[in-house]
Structure 1
Amino acid sequence: MDRRKFLKGAAIGAGATALAAPALAQGGKQLTIVSTWPRDFPGLGMSAQRLAARIAEIGDGAFNVEYFAAGERVGAFDAFDEVSSGNSQAYIGPDYYWTGKHPAFAYFTAVPFGMNVAERNAWIAFGGGQELWDELSAEYGVKAFQCGPTGTQAGGWFNKEMESADDFKGLKMRMPGMGAQVLTKLGASTVSLPGSQIYENLVSGSIEATEWVGPYNDYFMKFYEAAKYYYTGGMHEPSASIAFGMNKAWFDGLTDHEKLLIEVACAEEHGVAHQEAIAKNGEYLSKLVNEHGVEVRSFSDDIWDAFGEASAEVFEETRNHSAMAAKIDDSFQAALRSYGTYLANFDGAFVNQRNRVLGLV
């Protein structure tokens, strides 16, 4: 397969119909959406297109929706500025791409040793997370909602076995967000690449390892052609949540009903995207192993301990950035410990025993 054609738009094995490009509806208020994902990309790209189509559908003429995948209007990493400036009305992408503007944006996508999907949903809805997100985003003229968690992401693809923390020294790896800062402290050299550029850099040797999402999304990237060791349960993104970020002035100008339409559409896709990931990941992990000889590994306790020590330093540095960062970290950490204690004693205890009894691990 020609990967360039695929990344430009071939929906292969996604089990979904490609949406029209770029217009989705005519009439109503203009809603131009730019995405950080390639068109028709299984998982993330299809989720973004599904959300755009849903807004147009339930809006029933309220919005003239136009959707542009990464590179069709602006580059993946230019989506925030495109919307903040008002050139487009919304973006779909992970807010940790914008940590160069403010490091606390990472908390609204994923942070090392952070919350899983259930915990993050609780924090955003009932723990003050949405209010803090609104406060931070407003500084840049943006208003955002969650619109799609990936679940716990894989630790990454490597061309060698990672047996100790020392193996990260000098390693060239693609990883964004706070996770990249953690690896840097272990001696790795990290880069943040958009999805469309990862494969070519991995195959060429420009990078030696990469993380992306999980088995379903990763399968179609063909990373197994350059790296055979697949590490599960990464520390860096336990619940990566995608954002639907809107130009705040545009959003504030909507009627209450129009605002609710968008919020409801985002909430629906937030649930559907996670359900899809859970449903597909097991199937595609088997395909990676059985069809392509991928060797699944788990990081050792030594590596996890090193991740933990480096993460503590990263959090402290982030807190020192500003009062806003410290405020968000205070809220996040308090919620994590409250929710985590409960889940460990109930969900965690059950899952561990269920898996033991049924022989699932």
Structure 2
Amino acid sequence: MDRRSFIRKAGAVGGGAAAATATLAAPAIAQSSPEVRWRLTSSFPKSLDTIYGSAEEMANIVREMTDGKFNIQVFPAGEIVPGPQALDAVQSNTVEANHTCSYYFVGKDPTFAIGTAIPFGMNARQQNAWLYEGGGNEVLNEFYATYGVIGVPGGNTGVQMGGWWRKEVNSLADVQGVKMRIAGIAGQVMAKLGAVPQQIPGGDIYPSLEKGTIDAAEWVGPYDDEKLGFHQVAKFYYYPGFWESGPTLHFMFNAQKHAELPKAYQAALKAGCAYANDITMAKYDAKNRLAIRSLVGKGVQLRPFPRDVLDAAYVASQELYAGLVQTNENWKKVYEPWKQFRDESFQWFRVAEYTMDSYNYAMQASGK
């Protein structure tokens, strides 16, 4: 056979095989990487770039990991549904996902509070450890499954502030009759102290404080609070927010829609949530250190809660939890392992973390 003819024929066969391979491969790739578009409703306004931005961070990671095939469009609170209806929207498949605080839904069941934070709970690291390594995600998702959703941690703000008060709190007596915007089960604790809890969305807090409709309000911490301008209508800024030692944000997904995703997309979603969970805490830690200085420079009066307020709130919290253990099986199933993890974490953190932190802070405060 002529040498050139052999090469030409071999090339034709090789090219045909390559072409056939490409023809076969294209549909396989298309089938394994479908175009998926989800909508996510946030419980937060777009103006709060850090907490609202957590959902955008997650969506960006998912988009990049799937080569743009899995797109999640993020909507601020109120654009599709109000923030407090974020769970209902996912449950009914109005949207496939939300980004929220599970304690917004304590009206459905107090157990939702544990997913975010309950008074005198764990700090951000401890809560995160319980969720990921202490069985927290598993026991919570058994509970969330009864609402047709899957919950995944999606950020933390760290210990929050005790809120903005129009008048000083010098003792427990000063809490009596105070109309306070406060979310979750913490409102029940404050009611035991004599306050009058109010459920008000974040966007309505400023005008309510300004008009005197409420006397005090908690939100998050220095960075977000300054952006919302609370220092312009209330000058006393209390700490700590004992009701939110380490509040976890959650992404919630419609369970059926999540199950329909290719495994690779589920993995991308998991990775995106983990990134948002980590970066949100880092952003708040970085931004709050500057914002607290800025607020004090604007004349804000920082005040610690009096000890009798903390003591009364602690007793009221424990009484409330004990009652729920007796009357709410969902609460009992989630709270008891949570409390065991909390108690053991506190024992450990007192050994090294607390002593190291206390010494460092004392040295810094003394100017050394």
* TM-score between both structures, scaled by the size of structure 1: 0.90
State the alpha-carbon separation in 2 of the partners of residues 351 and 48 from structure 1. 32
State the alpha-carbon separation in 1 of the partners of residues 216 and 326 from structure 2. 30
Task: Compute the displacement of 1:30 (Å).
Answer: 2.4
1:164 aligns with 2:164: no
Contact 1:178–1:314 (CA under 8 A) maintained in structure 2: no
Contact 1:40–1:46 (CA under 8 A) maintained in structure 2: no
- In the other structure, the counterpart of 1:235 is 242
1:99-125 deviation line (CA, Å, top 9, x unaligned): 111111101101100011110111011
- In the other structure, the counterpart of 1:18 is none
- In the other structure, the counterpart of 1:222 is 229
State the alpha-carbon separation in 2 of the partners of residues 185 and 59 from structure 1. 50
CA gap 1:277/1:336 in 2 versus in 1, 3 angstroms: same
State the alpha-carbon separation in 2 of the partners of residues 51 and 40 from structure 1. 18
1:154-202 deviation line (CA, Å, top 9, x unaligned): 0110011111111111000000112111100011111121111111111
Choose which of 15, 38, 46 in structure 2 pairs with 1:31.
38
State the alpha-carbon separation in 1 of the partners of residues 249 and 349 from structure 2. 23
1:309 aligns with 2:299: no
- In the other structure, the counterpart of 2:56 is 49
Structure that is richer in helix per residue: 2
1:264 aligns with 2:271: yes
Contact 1:137–1:144 (CA under 8 A) maintained in structure 2: yes
1:123 aligns with 2:130: yes
Contact 1:35–1:48 (CA under 8 A) maintained in structure 2: yes
Structure with max Cα Rg: 2
CA gap 1:178/1:86 in 2 versus in 1, 3 angstroms: same
1:281 aligns with 2:281: no
SS of the equivalent of 1:139 reads helix
Contact 2:59–2:71 (CA under 8 A) maintained in structure 1: no
Choose which of 119, 136, 147 in structure 1 pairs with 2:143.
136
Task: Compute the displacement of 1:54 (Å).
Answer: 2.7
* TM-score between both structures, scaled by the size of structure 2: 0.88
**CA RMSD in angstroms, aligned pairs only:** 1.4
Off by >6 Å, runs of 4+ in structure 1: none
State the alpha-carbon separation in 2 of the partners of residues 331 and 49 from structure 1. 32
- In the other structure, the counterpart of 1:250 is 257
SS of the equivalent of 2:98 reads strand
Contact 1:172–1:207 (CA under 8 A) maintained in structure 2: yes
CA gap 1:360/1:89 in 2 versus in 1, 3 angstroms: farther
Residue identity over aligned pairs, in percent, reads 33
State the alpha-carbon separation in 2 of the partners of residues 203 and 147 from structure 1. 32
State the alpha-carbon separation in 2 of the partners of residues 314 and 128 from structure 1. 24
Q: Pairwise mapping of residues 70-81 of structure 1 onto structure 2 (< 5 A)?
A: 70-81=77-88
- In the other structure, the counterpart of 2:154 is 147
1:344 aligns with 2:350: yes
State the alpha-carbon separation in 2 of the partners of residues 286 and 358 from structure 1. 16
1:34-80 deviation line (CA, Å, top 9, x unaligned): 01111242321222322223322223233232221111111111111
1:325-358 deviation line (CA, Å, top 9, x unaligned): 1011101100000111101111001101111223
- In the other structure, the counterpart of 1:293 is 299
- In the other structure, the counterpart of 1:335 is 341
1:320 aligns with 2:326: yes
Task: Compute the displacement of 1:323 (Å).
Answer: 1.5
State the alpha-carbon separation in 1 of the partners of residues 337 and 143 from structure 2. 13
State the alpha-carbon separation in 2 of the partners of residues 357 and 41 from structure 1. 34
Number of equivalenced pairs: 334
Q: What is the identity, as a one-letter code, of the residue corresponding to 1:56?
A: R
1:204 aligns with 2:211: yes
Contact 2:163–2:237 (CA under 8 A) maintained in structure 1: yes
Q: What is the identity, as a one-letter code, of the residue corresponding to 1:314?
A: L
- In the other structure, the counterpart of 1:83 is 90
SS of the equivalent of 1:230 reads strand
Contact 2:40–2:75 (CA under 8 A) maintained in structure 1: yes
State the alpha-carbon separation in 1 of the partners of residues 326 and 264 from structure 2. 40
Task: Compute the displacement of 1:360 (Å).
Answer: 6.4
SS of the equivalent of 1:177 reads coil
- In the other structure, the counterpart of 1:3 is none
Q: What is the identity, as a one-letter code, of the residue corresponding to 2:317?
A: S
Choose which of 101, 105, 111 in structure 2 pairs with 1:104.
111
